Structure 1
Amino acid sequence: MLLFFTLGLLIHFVFFASIFDIYFTSPLVHGMTPQFTPLPPPARRLVLFVADGLRADALYELDENGNSRAPFIRNIIMHEGSWGISHTRVPTESRPGHVALIAGFYEDVSAVAKGWKENPVEFDSLFNESKYTWSWGSPDILPMFAKGASGDHVYTYSYDAKREDFGAQDATKLDTWVFDNVKDFFHHARNNQSLFSKINEEKIVFFLHLLGIDTNGHAHRPSSRDYKHNIKKVDDGVKEIVSMFNHFYGNDGKTTFIFTSDHGMTDWGSHGAGHPSETLTPLVTWGAGIKYPQRVSAQQFDDAFLKEWRLENWKRLDVNQGILPVDYLNNTDLFKAESMFTNAVQILEQFKVKMTQKKEVTLPFLFTPFNCAGS
Structure 2
Amino acid sequence: MAFHFKAILFVTSLSLLLHTLLLYCPVDILFKSKDPLPVNALRPQLHSLLPPANRLVLFIVSNATASDAYSVKNEDQPDLPFIRSVIRKKGRWGISYFSNSDANDDFYNNNNTRNSLPFLTGTYSDHNEDTVLRSASKVWIWCSHDGSCLNNDTGTITHLFESPVTAVTTSNASLNWMSDHIENLFLVKGNEETVGEELMKDKTIFYFNFGSADLSSIDTAMQNISSFFDSYYKDRKTTFVFTASVLGNATIESLPLMLPFVAWGAGIKNPRSKHSSLLTVHDEWSEQWGLERLERVDLDQTDIAPLLSILIGTRIPLHSLGVLPVHYIHYNKEFFAQAFYSNALQLLELVTAKEKSLHSQSLPFLFRPYHKLTQEIKHKRKTMISSYIKQRKLQEALDLSMELASLAKEAIQYYDVYHQLSVRLIMASLLLGWISYLVTILTRQDHDMEPADSRKRGLYYFIIFSFILGLGFLLWYQGMPPHFMIYFCGALLLWSSAINNCNYRAIYSKYSSWFISGCIGIVPSSKTIYQLCTNKSQFIFVQLKSYPMDPIVVAPPSHFH
Please give the range of the TM-score, normalised by the shorter of the 2 chains.
0.7 to 0.9
User: 1:63 touches 1:69 (CA, 8 Å); kept in 2?
Assistant: yes
Aligned-pair CA distance for 1:322: 3.1
In the superposition, relative to structure 1, how do residues 9 and 180 fare at CA in structure 2: closer, same or farther (>3 Å)? same
CA displacement, residues 9-45 of structure 1 (integer Å, 9 cap, x when unaligned): 6797587388479369424442211110121100000
In the superposition, relative to structure 1, how do residues 9 and 352 fare at CA in structure 2: closer, same or farther (>3 Å)? farther
Asked whether 1:169 is paired with 2:152, we answer no
User: 2:95 touches 2:260 (CA, 8 Å); kept in 1?
Assistant: yes
Asked whether 1:255 is paired with 2:265, we answer no
Choose from 35, 38, 41 the match for 1:26: 35
Choose from 141, 149, 174 the match for 2:148: 141
Distance 1:37 1:191 in 2: 34
- In structure 2, the partner of 1:207 is 207
- In structure 2, the partner of 1:226 is none
Asked whether 1:293 is paired with 2:271, we answer yes
Q: Which stretch shows the higher mean deviation, 357-366 or 315-324?
A: 357-366
Q: Which has the higher contact order (CA 8 A, sep 6+)?
A: 1
Task: Give the secondary-structure state (helix, strand or coil) at the position aligned to 2:341.
Answer: helix
- In structure 2, the partner of 1:279 is 257
Distance 1:283 1:315 in 2: 13
In the superposition, relative to structure 1, how do residues 64 and 53 fare at CA in structure 2: closer, same or farther (>3 Å)? same
Distance 2:302 2:138 in 1: 20
Distance 1:155 1:257 in 2: 19
In the superposition, relative to structure 1, how do residues 334 and 105 fare at CA in structure 2: closer, same or farther (>3 Å)? same
In the superposition, relative to structure 1, how do residues 193 and 280 fare at CA in structure 2: closer, same or farther (>3 Å)? same
User: How many residue pairs end up in the alignment?
Assistant: 333
More helix per residue? 2
After TM superposition, the structure 1 = structure 2 runs for residues 292-371 of structure 1, keeping only pairs within 5 Å, are 292-297=270-275, 300-301=280-281, 303-324=283-304, 325-370=325-370
Choose from 234, 241, 249 the match for 2:218: 234
Distance 2:131 2:139 in 1: 11
Task: Give the secondary-structure state (helix, strand or coil) at the position aligned to 2:256.
Answer: helix
In the superposition, relative to structure 1, how do residues 175 and 373 fare at CA in structure 2: closer, same or farther (>3 Å)? closer
After TM superposition, the structure 1 = structure 2 runs for residues 120-199 of structure 1, keeping only pairs within 5 Å, are 121-138=127-144, 141-144=148-151, 146-147=152-153, 149-150=154-155, 152-160=156-164, 163=166, 168-199=168-199
Task: Give the secondary-structure state (helix, strand or coil) at the position aligned to 1:133.
Answer: strand
- Which entry has the higher C-alpha Rg, 1 or 2? 2
Task: Give the secondary-structure state (helix, strand or coil) at the position aligned to 1:136.
Answer: strand
CA displacement, residues 175-230 of structure 1 (integer Å, 9 cap, x when unaligned): 333333222221233221101101111100000000133xxxxxxxxxxxxxxxx2
In the superposition, relative to structure 1, how do residues 82 and 300 fare at CA in structure 2: closer, same or farther (>3 Å)? closer
Task: Give the secondary-structure state (helix, strand or coil) at the position aligned to 2:270.
Answer: coil
User: 1:291 touches 1:330 (CA, 8 Å); kept in 2?
Assistant: yes
Runs of 4+ in 1 over 3 A off after TM superposition: 1-25, 89-98, 297-302, 363-366, 368-375
- In structure 1, the partner of 2:57 is 47
Which TM-score applies when normalising by structure 2?
Answer: 0.53
> Gaps (5+ residues) in structure 2?
1-6, 305-324, 378-561
Task: Give the secondary-structure state (helix, strand or coil) at the position aligned to 1:135.
Answer: strand
Distance 1:353 1:43 in 2: 31
The two structures, once aligned, show a CA RMSD in angstroms of 3.3
CA displacement, residues 117-172 of structure 1 (integer Å, 9 cap, x when unaligned): xxxx352111100000111105762233x23x22x412211135x71x5xx33422
Distance 2:12 2:192 in 1: 77
In the superposition, relative to structure 1, how do residues 296 and 143 fare at CA in structure 2: closer, same or farther (>3 Å)? closer
Q: Which stretch shows the higher mean deviation, 202-211 or 133-142?
A: 133-142
User: 1:86 touches 1:283 (CA, 8 Å); kept in 2?
Assistant: yes
Distance 1:287 1:336 in 2: 17
Aligned-pair CA distance for 1:370: 4.3
- In structure 1, the partner of 2:70 is 60
Task: Give the secondary-structure state (helix, strand or coil) at the position aligned to 1:316.
Answer: coil
Distance 2:37 2:66 in 1: 30
User: 2:237 touches 2:266 (CA, 8 Å); kept in 1?
Assistant: yes
Q: Which amino acid aligns with 1:246?
A: D
- Identical positions, percent: 25
Q: Which amino acid aligns with 2:24?
A: F
Distance 1:7 1:358 in 2: 36
Asked whether 1:105 is paired with 2:83, we answer no
- In structure 2, the partner of 1:219 is none
In the superposition, relative to structure 1, how do residues 312 and 49 fare at CA in structure 2: closer, same or farther (>3 Å)? same
Q: Which stretch shows the higher mean deviation, 97-106 or 73-82?
A: 97-106
In the superposition, relative to structure 1, how do residues 304 and 195 fare at CA in structure 2: closer, same or farther (>3 Å)? same
User: 2:117 touches 2:246 (CA, 8 Å); kept in 1?
Assistant: no
Q: Which amino acid aligns with 1:347?
A: L
User: 1:61 touches 1:68 (CA, 8 Å); kept in 2?
Assistant: yes
Task: Give the secondary-structure state (helix, strand or coil) at the position aligned to 1:198.
Answer: helix
CA displacement, residues 275-322 of structure 1 (integer Å, 9 cap, x when unaligned): 6x8221111110100000111238854532222222111111111113
Q: Which amino acid aligns with 2:286?
A: L
Distance 1:97 1:336 in 2: 32
